[in-house]
Amino acid sequence: MVTIANVLVAILILLGAVLTLLSAVGAIRLPDVYTRSHAISKSTTLGIMCILLGAFLHFFIENNHFNSRLLLGIVFIFMTSPVAAHFISRAAYYTNVDRWEGTVRDDLKQKAGGK
């Protein structure tokens, strides 16, 4: 049973590292602040949550230690990261940051008087 749990911990931590790496690649490769913000907020949030969950399970299984701070960290990241990315994108829109020329739709144009 412990071996299966260790494999699960390793998979969670590796998945989190891969998602965080993909987020960094998205931040470098994507064309504008809106798509970068989307890539960073979604995959980094899931990646960090996987890493923290893997660390929580590791300490719970190996040392029988329930670390509530890791669970609170997961909840905090889950609730704040997407909201922060939304506000950053909204602030970029209202300050007229240029969008990618391939952008097809602008949902805020009528509401905000955007470009």
Domain membership flag for residue 110:
no
Domain membership flag for residue 106:
no
Domain membership flag for residue 84:
yes
Cα angle: 58, vertex 55, 7; to 5 degrees: 50
Domain membership flag for residue 111:
no
Domain membership flag for residue 83:
yes
Checking if the pLDDT of 15 tops 60, the result is yes
**48-52, 59-63, 101-105: which has the minimum mean pLDDT?**
101-105
Tokens encoding 24:
């960094």
Number of independent structural domains in the chain: 1
Per the structure, the complete domain to which residue 43 belongs is given by 1-95
Domain membership flag for residue 19:
yes
Domain membership flag for residue 58:
yes
Of the pLDDT bands very low, low, confident and very high (cuts 50, 70, 90), residue 103 is confident
Residue 36: CB atoms within 10 Å: 20
Domain membership flag for residue 113:
no
